[in-house]
Amino acid sequence: MSVFNQSRSRIIRIIFLIAFVVIIAQLFYLQIVEGKYRQLAMDNAVFAKVVYPERGIIFDRKGKAILNNTIIYDLMVTPAEVKGIDTLEFCRLIGIDTAEFKKRILEARFKNTAVRPSVFKGLLTKELQARFEENSWKYPGFNLVERPLRTYPFNAAAHILGYIREADTKDIEKSGDFYRQGDYIGKTGLEAYYEKVLMGQRGVQYMIKDNKNRLVGHYENGAFDTASVAGRGLRTYIDVELQQLAEKLMSNKVGGIVAIDPKTGGILAMVSGPNFNPNDLTGSEGSKNYSRMVLDVTGPMLNRAIGGRYEPGSTFKPLGALVALNEGVITPSYGYPCGGRYTLCGHGKPACTHAGGGHADNVRLSIANSCNAYYAHIYRLTVDNPKYGNVKRGYLKWREYMNTFGLGVRLGLDLPNENPGFIADTSVYNKENANYWTSCTNLTLGIGQDKMLTTPLQMANAMCIVANRGYYYTPHFVEKIDGETEEDTVLMNKFRVKHDVLTHIPDTAFTAVIEGMNDVVKFGTARVAQIPNIDVCAKTGTAENYTILDGKRIKLPNNSMFVCFAPKDNPKIAIAVFVQNAGFGATWAGPISRIMIEKYLNDTLMTKSKADLERIANTNLMPAYFKRLQYKEDSIRAYNWYRDYKDSSLIKRFLKLSASVNKQKSAPPGRKMPGQHKKETMAVIMPEEKIYHKHANPAAA
């Protein structure tokens, strides 16, 4: 029978062959013709892992690291590997309850699947980390993962250094998608200004991942990887000991201190009060502290040294004298017969602390005795200078001088969010006075009042100009960038240019003013600043101020101000100190300046200064109205919260306490109430400039 069907064996062979040809054709198509599969396999298995570089370190003038990197640990969990652990004991160790434990495990599973590690508890405290490490063998599936963190070994210079945060969508957009989700970016301070230098360069590692997105090794043994480049260090002028001292002096006070080396423009110390410990913003409590500080009405996050706007008061007088002298409207020997008040404008203002006795017989004496009448008068002489035809043109000339001194303009230091202060334009006076006004209208400009607001930095810089007899360098913190590149040099060049702005003022004028300021220390209001063997030149200032609280205008204690430089003949340090609501300039700001000069020039303190230091540091000069303000802000926020979210948890506290308070108030709490005080008394700068413009800039209004 077999012979009958033998031909069929050939057909069967052909069937086999056809099947093979079909399979080979498909293989040929998949493996040779179609190119996409190679890429698809790459997409599947290769993961570009970003390697974060270490951020740059910031050093002070003596090479001490004032901003450094450290490592903190996140507790990670891989839910699939958590087996047979004593949950109760674990919860006790970590300090949570079992319900929370279950919730977090579930969250981890949900977010990252059971086989990939997710954060169980972020940023462990040192103590918790140690406790966990001891017991880690008991808890499979849990492990610690390093997280780099910024640390501040001296607990100082929070406002200068700034902080970093994860880049938000706005940052990412602004950078043209250079930053990615999860990247850290400098938000304020030097961290923000020198972001490009500090951040370094990200690296990429191509890792192989498996079907569950776990990384299992390097792709091609790392042949395509790019190494990360660590951020470069910044060498600053900051004297961290001086900075710490200044911060101690400023504790529980509102205001700002700036100390500059006049020879270089290098900022030696800069403090804003109230202050905070920069380490508070990092670590496990970081975000909690951050939100607390943001809501604090005293504004610990604001850098008042470059953003606080104050009437300079009498500290302005040396500048007024220099302008008048340079304009030739007076000579160093020009005297004014002050009888206790300025009478030439008809209203007998301003008054003067001295009367007669020839206390304003020349420039030097007028500064030493801080004669208000003298300075109101020479201001008038300056703007009424016949050379300019009318007061408006004269005023514009005077305003130009102010800008040259760095007032009313941004100096451009290496911190973001600097405030330009305020010197009114003629249009402001035109508007307020129906276009007709004389030098009497704003004669108190001569004594640093009226529409004139300066920042502590601007006044310190102005002192540098006086000390240097006409020139200055733009104030800045950073002296050198490690491994400076061409790009860095471009960035730094603006700080290395000598601004010979006022060297055309005759030397005699400077001598008169400087000697006058020296006399202030020797015989005048700043005797408190005397230091043996050091010739200090200084000028005190006191400015009245008011605030509106609960609809009433109330007078606050005067702002205490002090500007100085030393030594007289070879100035090494220029300081401006502003203490809000503290009283006379000589009471608080004076000793603060003296202690700082001593520390910087002598590196030791006199016995008297040591005592003063403790006394000042322990004095709380926080204005009392802040308490009431905080209460109002909090209650309004609680009310708004209740109104918008129907959640009474916040407002409860206020309902019990403030029943009586509410009766007194006619208007219900509204959103417009907060913020008024800021317009009136102090101009503060918020971390974001936009908010600042909205709330705190009368010039913009």
Which residues are at the interface with other proteins (CB under 8 A)?
1-2, 4-6, 8-9, 12-13, 15-17, 19-20, 22-24, 26-28, 30-32, 34, 36-38, 40-42, 44-46, 208-212, 216-217
Q: Write out the two tokens for 181.
A: 């989700």
The nearest distance, CB 215 to other proteins, in angstroms, is: 10
Q: How far is the CB of 225 from other proteins (least distance, A)?
A: 17
Instruction: Report phi then psi at 375, rounded to 5.
Output: -80, -30
| CA separation for the pair 651, 498 (Å, rounded) | 57
State which residue, 153 or 217, has the beta carbon closest to other proteins. 217
Nearer to other proteins, 26 or 98 (CB): 26
Look at residues 475, 497, 479 and name the one whose alpha carbon lies nearest to residue 488.
479
Q: Which is nearer to other proteins, 33 or 701 (CB)?
A: 33
Q: Helices 607-617 and 240-249 sit at what angle, rounded to 10 degrees?
A: 60
Minimum distance of other proteins from residue 118's CB (angstroms): 21
Comparing C-alpha atoms, which of 366, 352, 464 is closest to residue 413? 464
Q: Is 382 helix (H, G, I), strand (E, B) or coil?
A: helix
Cis-peptide into 475, omega within 30 deg: no
* Minimum distance, C-beta of residue 47 to other proteins, in the bound complex (Å): 11
CB-based contacts of 103, cutoff 8 Å, min separation 6: none
The tokens describing 679, both together, are: 């317009």
Min dist. Cβ of residue 55 to other proteins (A) = 33
Shortest Å, Cβ 203 to other proteins:
22
Nearer to other proteins, 38 or 174 (CB): 38
- With beta carbons less than 8 A apart as the criterion, state whether 205 and 227 touch: no
* Whether the bond into 274 is cis, omega within 30 of 0: yes
φ and ψ of 677, to 5 deg:
-60, -30
CA dihedral angle for residue 210, residue 215, residue 216, residue 217, rounded to 10 degrees: 130
CB of 25 to other proteins, least distance (A): 10
How many angstroms separate the CA atoms of 355 and 683, rounded?
Answer: 34
Give the DSSP H or E segment for 110.
helix 98-112
Residue closer to other proteins (CB basis): 43 or 177: 43
Tell me whether residue 160 or residue 207 sits nearer to other proteins (CB atom): 207
Q: Which is nearer to other proteins, 28 or 224 (CB)?
A: 28
Nearer Cβ to other proteins (34/173)? 34
Query: Which of 602, 533, 594 shows the shortest CA–CA distance to 562?
Result: 594
The residue with tokens 């086989």 is 115
The Cβ-side half-sphere exposure at 408, using a 13 Å CA radius, reads 17
Measure the CA–CA gap between 354 and 525, rounded to whole angstroms.
12
Residues 191/161, Cβ–Cβ less than 8 Å = yes
Strand bridging mode 46-51 / 58-59? unpaired
Nearer to other proteins, 109 or 138 (CB): 109
Cβ 212 to other proteins shortest distance, Å: 8
Closer to other proteins by Cβ: residue 22 or 227: 22
CB of 116 to other proteins, least distance (A): 14
Q: How many whole angstroms from its chain centre is CA 574? A: 21
Distance between start and end Cα atoms, the chain: 113
- Minimum Å gap between C-beta 211 and other proteins is 4
For β-strands 58-59 and 234-236, DSSP reports them as parallel
Complex with other proteins: residue 217 or 670, whichever CB lies closer: 217
Q: Which two tokens stand for residue 508?
A: 């005699």
Secondary structure letter of residue 527 according to DSSP = G
CB of 112 to other proteins, least distance (A): 17
Considering the complex, state which of residue 41 and residue 229 has its C-beta at the smaller distance from other proteins.
41
Q: How far is the CB of 77 from other proteins (least distance, A)?
A: 23
Report the distance separating Cα 168 and Cα 191, nearest Å: 16
Q: Smallest distance, Å, CB 204 to other proteins?
A: 18
Would you say 22 or 396 has its CB closer to other proteins?
Answer: 22
For residue 38, the minimal CB distance to other proteins (Å) is 5
The neighbouring-strand residues paired with 218 are: 207
State the Cα–Cα distance between residues 132 and 121, nearest whole angstrom: 12
Question: Closer to other proteins at the Cβ: 44 or 433?
Answer: 44
- The answer to whether the beta carbons of residues 469 and 501 sit under 8 Å apart is no
Complex with other proteins: residue 31 or 291, whichever CB lies closer: 31
Residues 467 and 537 sit within 8 Å (Cβ to Cβ): yes
Distance CA 58, CA 68 (A): 7
Least distance (Å) between residue 254 CB and other proteins: 57
Q: Which residue has the tokens 């998949």?
A: 30
Sequential DSSP letters for 429-447? HHHHTTT---TTTTGGGGG
